[in-house]
Amino acid sequence: MVFKRFPVTSSSLLTRAKSIAVLLKVFHCANAKDFINDLDHEGECQRIRRLIEVASKIHTVLGVVDSRDMGLTLPHEHLFYDLRGAARPKDFCIDREDVVKTVLPSLQALKERGVSTLFECSTGGIGRDALILEALARRSGVNVVAPTGLYKESFMPDWVRNRTVDELAGWMIDEIEIGIENTPVKAGFIKLAATDEGLTVLEKKVLRAATRAAKKTGAAIAQHTSGPQSGLILLQEIKVLKEERFNLGKFVWVHAHSEPDLNKHIKAAEAGVNLEYDAIGGNQSYEFFIEIIRRMVAEGHERRILLSQDAGGYNAAEPGGGKPRDLCFIIDHFLPRMEQEGMKNLIPLMTIENPKSVFELHQ
C-alpha cells in the first residue's frame, strides 16, 4: 500500500494523527510507520509518534509492553486475593515469598501452554499486592496486569467516602501513571464492582471517577456486575457512563454469563459493551458457555466477547492459600471443545484480538 503525502496544517494534525494511529492498528504498523518516517514536518512527526506510543501499549507490573505482544490473554483471574474485608485481622500479614512459591507453578504452566498475558482482578480492599504480582511476573515470564480501582462498597476503605469524584479519579490516574501504593508498579486497567442488589450511591461515585481516569489515561474499565439481575444493574452503569460521555467499547461487563436473559447480552453488545464470560471451568458446563457464544456469534457480536475463568490462586483467608482452581482449564479443556464445536476461527479472536482491542491504552 502506498500513502500519498499531503500538506501539513495545524488544523489537520489531530485528525491526521488519529487516522495514522488507526492505520498502525489495522496494518500492523509496517507501512504506516514508513509513512510517518516520510513526514516532512519534524514537530508533527514527534507528536504523532507519541500518540502512537500511547495507542499501542499496556502497562504490566514489569513495565510497558507493546499491545501487539499481548498474545493469548486471560482477562479475569485472581493470583492472590482476600475477601474477608472488615473481618480480616488487624495484625494480618502475609509471607510474600510463600505466596509466590505456591502460585508460580500455575503461571509457569500457563506460559508453557502459550498464555502470554493475565489480568489480575483483585482490587484494593480484596488483597491486591503489587509486589507479589511483580515477583510472579518476573519469575514466570507471563505479562501480569494489575488493576487500580475498588471492589463493592462494603469492602471500600473509609477514606473513599470523603473524596470527591475528581479526587478519586486523580488517585486512579496516579496508580496508572506513577505506581500503586508507593511502588513503581503501574496499574494497567480499572477494576470496579457493583453490589448484587444494584449500584449504591458510593459505587456510582467511584464509577464516575473511573470514567474520568480512564479518559485521561486510555485505560479500560472492567466492572464486576453479577447475579440474575446483572442486566438491570448494567443499565445503571451505562447511564453513568453515558452521562460522562464514556466510550462503551472500553467498558467490560464482568460476569455477564450470570444474566440469564440472552436478549440483555445482545442489547449490551449492540450498545458497544464488551461481555466477559469468565467462569469457565467453574460450576457451569461446557455447553452453557458454548451456547452463549454460539448465540452471540449468530447475532454478529463475536468481537464483543472475552473469555476467562475467574480462577483463584492464593486465598489469604485459607491456610496455605487454600485449594485453587486449575488456571490451565480453559487452555486444556475449553478451547479444544470450542474447536470440536466448529469454533476454531473464533479462538484467536476472543483470546488475542478482542482483549488487545479492549485493554490497550489509547486516548
What per-residue confidence (pLDDT) applies to 309? Answer: 98
Instruction: Note whether 204 and 192 are within 8 A (CB).
Output: no
- How far CA 220 is from CA of 3, 143, 204, 250, in Å, comes to 32, 17, 17, 5
2 located within any domain = no
Question: 332: which DSSP letter?
Answer: I
4 located within any domain = no
Residue 14 binned pLDDT confidence (cut-offs 50, 70, 90): very low
Within 8 A by CB and 6+ apart from 246, the residues are 211, 214, 215, 221
What per-residue confidence (pLDDT) applies to 50? Answer: 56
Answer yes or no: is pLDDT of 219 > 80: yes
Q: For all residues of the chain together, what is the average pLDDT?
A: 88
3 located within any domain = no
CA dihedral 137, 141, 147, 151 (to 10 degrees): -70
Answer yes or no: is pLDDT of 363 > 80: no
Residues 43 and 148 reside in one and the same domain: no
Residue 93 binned pLDDT confidence (cut-offs 50, 70, 90): confident
**Dihedrals φ, ψ of 120, to 5°?**
-85, 120
75: helix, coil or strand?
strand
What per-residue confidence (pLDDT) applies to 54? Answer: 55
Residues 31 and 115 reside in one and the same domain: no
pLDDT tens digit sequence for 122-158: 998 899 999 999 999 999 999 999 999 999 999 999 9
Residues 206 and 339 reside in one and the same domain: yes
Residues 175 and 214 reside in one and the same domain: yes
Set of cell numbers at residue 202: 458510593
283 located within any domain = yes
As a whole number, mean pLDDT of residues 165-180 equals 98
As a whole number, mean pLDDT of residues 183-203 equals 97
pTM for this predicted structure: 0.86
Answer yes or no: is pLDDT of 106 > 60: yes
What per-residue confidence (pLDDT) applies to 141? Answer: 98
Answer yes or no: is pLDDT of 350 > 50: yes
- Give percent of the chain with pLDDT exceeding 90: 79
Residues 181 and 261 reside in one and the same domain: yes
Residues 41 and 63 reside in one and the same domain: no
Domain range for 16: 10-55
Q: Give the span between the Cα atoms of 295 and 106, in whole angstroms.
A: 32
325: helix, coil or strand?
coil
Answer yes or no: is pLDDT of 362 > 80: no
Answer yes or no: is pLDDT of 20 > 60: no
Within 8 A by CB and 6+ apart from 267, the residues are none
Question: Which residue has cell 508453557?
Answer: 112
Cβ burial, residue 313 (10 Å; 0-12/13-18/19+) = buried
Q: Give the span between the Cα atoms of 199 and 230, in whole angstroms.
A: 10
Residue 277's Cβ-side half-sphere holds a number of Cα atoms within 13 Å equal to 29
Q: Give the span between the Cα atoms of 166 and 226, in whole angstroms.
A: 27
Q: Domain tally for the chain?
A: 2
What per-residue confidence (pLDDT) applies to 47? Answer: 55
Instruction: Note whether 152 and 195 are within 8 A (CB).
Output: yes
What per-residue confidence (pLDDT) applies to 52? Answer: 55
1 located within any domain = no
What per-residue confidence (pLDDT) applies to 46? Answer: 63
Nearest to 250 by CA among 361, 86, 129, 121: 361
What per-residue confidence (pLDDT) applies to 40? Answer: 47
Residue 11 binned pLDDT confidence (cut-offs 50, 70, 90): very low
214: helix, coil or strand?
helix
**Dihedrals φ, ψ of 269, to 5°?**
-65, -40
5 located within any domain = no
Residues 348 and 210 reside in one and the same domain: yes
Residues 32 and 96 reside in one and the same domain: no
pLDDT tens digit sequence for 27-76: 333 334 444 444 445 565 665 555 555 558 999 999 999 999 999 999 99
Residues 64 and 50 reside in one and the same domain: no
The more confidently predicted of residues 312 and 156 is 156
What per-residue confidence (pLDDT) applies to 25? Answer: 39
Residues 27 and 125 reside in one and the same domain: no
Residue 298 binned pLDDT confidence (cut-offs 50, 70, 90): very high
Residues 302 and 342 reside in one and the same domain: yes
Residues 120 and 100 reside in one and the same domain: yes
Set of cell numbers at residue 38: 516520510
Instruction: Note whether 113 and 89 are within 8 A (CB).
Output: no
Amino acid at position 127, single letter: G
- Give percent of the chain with pLDDT exceeding 70: 85
Instruction: Note whether 188 and 123 are within 8 A (CB).
Output: no
> What is the number of other CB atoms lying within 10 angstroms of the CB of residue 233?
23
As a whole number, mean pLDDT of residues 245-254 equals 98
Set of cell numbers at residue 297: 456469534
